[in-house]
Chain A
Amino acid sequence: MKIPFLILFICTQFLYSFVQAKTIYVGKNKSIKTIKDAVKSSSHGDSVIVDAGTYYEKNLIIDKSITLSGINYPIIDGEGKYEIVSIKVSNVVFTGFKIQHSGYATLEDPAGIKIYDSNNVTILNNIIDDTFFGIYAQYAKNCLIKNNTLTAHGKEEQEIGNGIHCWKSDSMQIIGNKISGHRDGIYFEFVTNSIIWRNQSIKNIRYGLHFMFSHNDSYINNIFSGNGAGVAVMYTHGVKMYNNIFEQNWGDAAYGLLLKDISDSYIEGNIFVKNTSGIHMEGASRIQLGKNIFKNNGWAIQIQSSCMDVNVSHNNFLGNTFDVATNGTLVMNTFNNNYWDKYEGYDLNKDSYGDVPFRPISMFSMIIANNPQTMILFRSIMVSLLDKTERIVPTLIPENLKDEHPFMKPIAL
């Protein structure tokens, strides 16, 4: 009876020594000087720990499932020529590096860190500076990109890539990253079932967030501020946007949030401050737009006649130049129980709802939608007079675009 035990013991020992991961140290004073050599001498499951210093690795390819971690942010420099880190295998953890000066090529799209066809990759706490693309994932699945800081210094749209760029991926987690100076802060194309949480996408050249064909993703607690054209999202269903801040997207063609062909989505608890256009909707359908705050925007909501079943309720509209604009008389959307600071009605029965409906669309905003050149009369006495008369006797504005029971006081959100 003792022999099988012995065999079992030997077997487990053998297995243990086989499975046991080793740790490889890289540094100036260590036996291994470059990360490339460390990756070469490692096997699946090993850890590579890199000391502070600057490493010129050309293109560092990680083709083993290892954990790479840096101490005090060792710098990996691409010398302005190479893609810096290429992850080509699943189950890699990459953490604590500073990655700088990648190459620039519009055909190959070199990135600071690129994930190729891999699952379960974790990219954690890195600083990425002056790269063409920041973090690029293609055909990736179930990856975590967390607490990275990405900075680029592009001047023109065509000179710079996107911050976090995901293509044909699934179940991605993009959490707590800070992105600035890229073309698009976060770019998704064909990315599904993913979450974007607590990121800050600030002062990017084009869009703070840009996605297309990316169904069933959630965007929660992000800040999109001061981007060239705001946030644009297109051709997607099942979008959930909760508690984000869209602010300071101010310019000729800037939008807080541009929705094009979005359906079955929820946009709730967001704050839109000082955008040329808070939300611009085209071909949007079945959208719940609730509990948002629109403050000091040029237009709070531009809703084209191509939108359907958009339900706007329990929002606060404060200090916007125009609250709502549309381009036709067809309205298939509902506006209910919002607070409008321009409301002049009364509440006789003290149920905190106004007794007369509010028409959030002004005559002038209708006129502009039909004939943009009339914007030259913006803020003229004539226009304010027309607006006043139209409020009393509506003739031009869509009859059924009204809030039947507007709130008398701002809604506490």
Chain B
Amino acid sequence: MNKVFKYIVIDILRNKTVLFYTLFLFVVSFTLFSFEENTAKGLLSLLNIILFIVPLISIIFSTIYIYNCSEFIELLICQPLKRKYIWLSLFNGLAVSLSFAFLIGCGITILIYEPTATGMIMILTGCLLSVIFVAISMLGTVSTRDKAKGIGKAILLWLYFALIFDGLVLFLLFQFSEYPLEKLMMVISGFNPIDLSRITVLLRLDVSALMGYTGAVFKDFFGTTFGFIISLFVLALWVIIPLIISTKKFQTKDL
């Protein structure tokens, strides 16, 4: 696995887009922390940026990257290498380099300004989000041959997770406003990695007091170590399940 992985990581790290992405994250996080008078507030603003930018860049970049290296993949397949090995190396390469970009961009500033447990969790969720959206994009590309269509699909998927899902939740909450939906909402939030990350981090910040009864129910669960481990596990599932499906698909794909 080492060699292909190494080629991909080096190739991506040389890529100007990733460099720009890293620099952008760095500048944004640095300015947010230095402009806000208290770091908790900076962390909150940064959370919004991370939840918006990281999934978008991860999914679009990896989609385009995989389409662009389709010839490279074809070349590799001609070699005596297992398809699973090639696909996983590709995933590892993308996941590691995008997480690395996030770590450099946001991780350093968070470590400088907010070296607390909350800061650590934020770094962790940022990395996980990068990896999750790489996995999702690979699932998207493996099932679509056409590049334009594939990128369109990626954008649509991002829109779904970032916006449409929340819209549906809002709709649901209003339709069933007479019922206690707190418990159900906990399950539903697991169906969107962005929501789950947002809630996990928010509950660790002061603002969680604003969330009233719903927040208290969530805090009782997600606030505990057990709940935190569960939410990490669910986020991990968001990596594993798309990855398994896409690997299966890639193994039988007619290239």
Contact = CB atoms under 8 A, between A and B. Distances in A.
Contact of B44 (A250, A254, A373, A379): A379
A31 to B, nearest CB: 61
Interface string B202-218: 10001101111111101
Which of A378, A383, A385 has the most B CB atoms < 10 Å from its CB?
A: A378
Contacts of B195: 380
A321 interface: yes
Given A381-B166, A382-B167, A252 B209 contact: yes
A384 interface: yes
A298 B207 contact: yes
A379 B208 CA distance: 11
A356 interface: no
B248 to A, nearest CB: 32
Nearest to B166: A382
Contacts of B181: 373
A167 B145 CA distance: 81
A251 interface: yes
A10 interface: no
A376 B210 contact: no
Contacts of A19: none
A321 B198 contact: no
B44 A375 contact: no
Which of B182, B198, B210 has the most A CB atoms < 10 Å from its CB?
A: B210
Interface stretch (B83-91, B92-100, B170-178): B170-178
A372 B212 contact: yes
B142 interface: no
Interface residues of B, number: 35
Interface string A301-336: 000000000000000000101000000000000000
A94 B43 CA distance: 53
Nearest to B48: A379
A252 B216 contact: yes
A250 B211 CA distance: 12
Contact of A373 (B162, B167, B182, B194): B182
B185 A373 contact: yes
B210 A375 contact: yes
A319 B202 CA distance: 18
A374 interface: yes
Which of A370, A372, A374 has the most B CB atoms < 10 Å from its CB?
A: A374
A384 B169 CA distance: 15
Contacts of B173: 371, 373-374, 376
A383 B48 CA distance: 11
A11 interface: no
B162 A381 contact: yes
Interface residues of A, number: 26
A377 B166 contact: yes
A276 interface: yes
Interface string A77-111: 00000000000000000000000000000000000
Interface string B100-128: 00000000000000000000000000000
A373 B176 CA distance: 10
A371 B174 contact: yes
Contact of A382 (B163, B206, B215, B218): B163
A319 B182 CA distance: 29
A378 B170 CA distance: 11
A375 B206 contact: no
B51 A381 contact: yes
B170 A382 contact: yes
Contacts of B194: 380
Interface in A350-402: 367, 370-385
Contacts of B51: 380-381
A367 to B, nearest CB: 8
B163 A385 contact: yes
Nearest to B181: A373
Interface string B141-157: 00000000000000000
Contacts of A381: 48, 51-52, 162-163, 166
A298 B213 CA distance: 15
A243 B165 CA distance: 47
A276 B208 CA distance: 10
Interface in A224-273: 250-252, 254
B209 A376 contact: no
B185 A376 contact: yes
A250 B206 CA distance: 8
B214 A372 contact: yes
Given A371-B174, A381-B52, A381-B163, A376 B207 contact: no
Contacts of B212: 252, 372, 375
Nearest to B201: A379
A276 B162 contact: no
B109 to A, nearest CB: 20
A373 B185 CA distance: 9
Contacts of B235: none
Nearest to A377: B166
Contacts of B177: 370-371, 373
Contacts of B39: none
Given A376-B199, A378-B211, A382-B170, 20 more contacts: A252-B216, A276-B209, A298-B210, A321-B207, A371-B174, A372-B214, A373-B177, A374-B174, A376-B173, A376-B189, A376-B214, A376-B218, A377-B166, A378-B210, A379-B202, A380-B195, A381-B48, A381-B51, A381-B52, A385-B163
Interface of B: 41, 44, 47-48, 51-52, 162-163, 166-167, 169-170, 173-174, 177, 181-182, 185, 189, 194-195, 198-199, 202, 206-207, 209-216, 218
28 contacts: A252-B209, A252-B216, A254-B209, A298-B207, A299-B210, A319-B41, A371-B174, A372-B212, A372-B214, A373-B181, A374-B173, A375-B210, A375-B211, A375-B215, A376-B185, A376-B199, A376-B211, A377-B169, A377-B170, A379-B48, A379-B202, A379-B207, A380-B166, A381-B48, A381-B52, A381-B163, A381-B166, A384-B48
10 nearest A-B pairs in the assembled complex, by CB-CB distance: A382-B166, A298-B210, A375-B211, A371-B177, A375-B214, A380-B166, A276-B209, A374-B173, A373-B214, A382-B163
